[in-house]
Amino acid sequence: MEIIILPDADEVGRVAAAAIAHRVRRTPETVLGLATGSSPLGIYRQLADWVKQGSLDLRHTRAFALDEYVGIAADHPQSYASVIRREVVEPLSLDPDRVHVPDGRSSDIEAACAAYEDQIQRAGGIDLQILGIGANGHIGFNEPISSFASRTRIKTLTPKTRADNARFFSQPDHVPTHCVTQGLGTIADAKQLVLVAQGEHKADAIAAAVEGPLSSMCPGSLLQLHRHAIVVIDELAANGLRLSDYYRYTYANKPDWQRFE
Ligand code: F6R
């Protein structure tokens, strides 16, 4: 695992975006996994800037969203289908036909989840999965004690996650109780993981994911099992890390051939 500690949230967005752009420039047909929420917004803004400047072309990428709420209309402004269209597809000029979001409205959720897994397989799997992390350590909406082997399925959001996401809704009780999410096993199959976190409120989750025991109590600790995981965080989110000096030293001495920016 590579841990990159940066001075502020803007740098987090820029450096994580550079890792993504590096891969897409080499392989324009890259299959991306997309997180929603606040954490990746800086990445999407930076990628959009490069697209506008003409130094990056994402039209040939395919993308699969990590998750979707169950029980809200696709055109609800906070459905992840709407968020992905507004924050990612339009500003990054992705081809909407190549961007997929799990179906949280199907009358047969299990079949819809299996179909989503099939779509990912048929696309050749996810090359680079963008991740945020919840304050309780969830990735995607895999709440604590999610199986490391889990695939796309329905989950019950914890009251803490619903409270954290209430800021996106006009009333707290409008936050759905359920979601469909790629499983931890689905996420683990991605060839590369790029997790971003900003702010003191993420420090405990980052410490548990990076340095804590491998445990389904912190789903983010899955990254410890992955062969190519990058964690890009600001100083505040790094506050709980015991080996932060070593991570800074490693990044400062990173060989040129390994650099992506
Ligand atoms: C959403 C997702 C979640 C969020 C996490 C952090 O697609 O994958 O795991 O990344 O809840 O949310 P923010 O970034 O809003 O703090």
What φ, ψ does residue 237 adopt, rounded to 5°?
Answer: -70, -15
From 159, 120, 115, 142, select the one nearest 32 (Cα to Cα): 120
Q: What is the pTM of this model?
A: 0.97
> 138: Cβ below 6 Å to ligand 1?
yes
Helix (H, G, I), strand (E, B) or coil at 160: helix
The two three-digit tokens of residue 18, written as one number: 């550079």
Q: What is the CA radius of gyration of the chain?
A: 17
Q: CA angle at residue 42 from 39 to 48, to 5 degrees?
A: 135
What was the pLDDT predicted at 96?
98
8 is catalytic: no
> 231: Cβ below 6 Å to ligand 1?
no
pLDDT tens by residue, 207-225:
999 999 999 999 999 999 9
What was the pLDDT predicted at 52?
98
Instruction: Give 246's contacts (C-beta < 8 A, 6+ positions apart).
Output: none
67 is catalytic: yes
What φ, ψ does residue 54 adopt, rounded to 5°?
Answer: 90, 10
By most ligand atoms within 8 Å of CB, the mutation choice from 141, 165, 168, 222 for ligand 1 is 141
Reported as half-sphere exposure (CB side, CA atoms, 13 A), residue 130 has a value of: 31
> 79: Cβ below 6 Å to ligand 1?
no
Helix (H, G, I), strand (E, B) or coil at 201: helix
Distance CA 50, CA 48 (A): 5
228 is catalytic: no
H or E element that contains 121 = helix 109-122
Closest residue (by CA) to atom 10 of ligand 1? Answer: 132
pLDDT tens by residue, 140-156:
999 999 999 999 999 99
Distance CA 103, CA 69 (A): 9
What was the pLDDT predicted at 70?
97
Are 219 and 142 a contacting pair, CB within 8 Å? yes
Strand order in 178-181's β-sheet? 67-69, 178-181, 153-156
The two three-digit tokens of residue 158, written as one number: 């914890």
Say which of 103, 117, 127, 143 is annotated catalytic.
143
What was the pLDDT predicted at 260?
86
By most ligand atoms within 8 Å of CB, the mutation choice from 41, 66, 204, 233 for ligand 1 is 66
Task: Label residues 150-172 b or e (16+ Cβ within 10 Å = b).
Answer: bbbbbbebeeebbebbeeebeee
Q: Give me the amino acid identity at 145.
A: I
> 205: Cβ below 6 Å to ligand 1?
no
Per residue of the chain (261 residues), give pLDDT as tens. 999 999 999 999 999 999 999 999 999 999 999 999 999 999 999 999 999 999 999 999 999 999 999 999 989 999 999 999 999 999 999 999 999 999 999 999 999 999 999 999 999 999 999 999 999 999 999 999 999 999 999 999 999 999 999 999 999 999 999 999 999 999 999 999 999 999 999 999 999 999 999 999 999 999 999 999 999 999 999 999 999 999 999 999 999 988 888
What φ, ψ does residue 228 adopt, rounded to 5°?
Answer: -145, 75
From 31, 18, 39, select the one nearest 139 (Cα to Cα): 39
